[in-house]
Structure 1
């Protein structure tokens, strides 16, 4: 893979994100399709190695949040980046529209339930961030559908400020308990999104991916851009950063995400399993017993 600095995609509160200036496409970091496949396999093996080491140490977990507009490639990125990782060490949860039970709790409740155990990687396909993104573009969800106390919805600017603060506090709490959170925004251009939506319509085998509502939401493109920009700037911190990933080229996107996951896993102070000579000698005594069975 060509050398490149992932810090260019990182937002940790030191710099302000201007989404219109963030690239949705960069030069290829792979030479051809064969090179891409080789790099992807190499990354998958490394992620698996570090997850196994994290599992053996059993002190840390990792939360990876994926957010994006429709057709940006969340599902495919998760599938390709983590293919090859031991399934026992990965938890993937896709957040849909809140259920009645979830609406009877606070907006973070359903996310707390799906957090990973120590030693595992928890992957959120969409997340609690929907509650400061979709609800900001469509505030009627808050005022009409979410059963909030009326006084909370009288000042929506204050409500969103409180939600940003709650998210920062949640992620800070998780970090200090051994669960750092990395957040990916897959940044696709409006033209590329249109091409992908049309491809879903034209291919009968991809029709199941298409929802008529996706077309309606494109009318709110600028509103979503503003909502994401504000959200990322409000919740990007040094310990729990956002990565704004160019998503017009899916191969580039997957390789960048894979590298960042590896880099974040390597930052964890995970001790390598140390050989125990005494235990090794004791285990040798079991070999003839097993052979005799």
Structure 2
């Protein structure tokens, strides 16, 4: 299959047949359908330069290399070289996986659990019992099944996907927006499982956040008029596997992360240029507020229905 972030035409508009051909912003006499992936302006081949992600106009390239005002991506984020956030997330996930191998109980203590008791007559554990941190800590821990089990395959796939998709998204969105998409997707996936999954089942893994990045890449690719077939295939295959093996895979987490990642990125990508940063921040806070409200309502429902049970 085609991995997202590879072999995709960058900044290429698709004419509908009736569109008036745009012209280069520096050479008005030259028609071009190609645009800079950072500022979105159309430019002819003489005014474009190959970059780590797609093609950029000469002014954006010059701005990124100068010591002046920080350049902005096409979605309003601050342009930054490298993929520091992506590799930091990979490092945190791998480190906690190793810690979990040495101390498997951390998965029980930090995993996604709705509302249950680990032992008959024991204290009630879970999100509805006030352990809200489980919604985010569970997204950084795979199932504790050792190097030869499901946990190793889970972190192997998730980190591969993060390395493939993350750097491109980080450069296109900017670091702050990329972190927002990742964490909101992780929370959205966790809350979806909390809402729809059995409250007594423990769930672990970064799949909600990873599916959120899949959704984010789809939105970004559509916005930049790139080929989305590769990411659609990846999303489709993984959703099918999630539903086939629903007894061992938290499909709710996958779907929730996918939806939140796509919606958050859409708010970033299609924000109006006027007061764009304010709009994007407000949209992210609104999405976070909705996630919190759903979690609180679900917790209230569980405690009212099950709180008196032993």
Q: Confirm or deny a common fold (TM above 0.5).
A: no
Larger proportion of strand: 1
Give the TM-score band, short-chain normalised.
under 0.3
Q: Using CA pairs below 8 Å that are at least 6 residues apart, which structure has the higher relative contact order?
A: 1
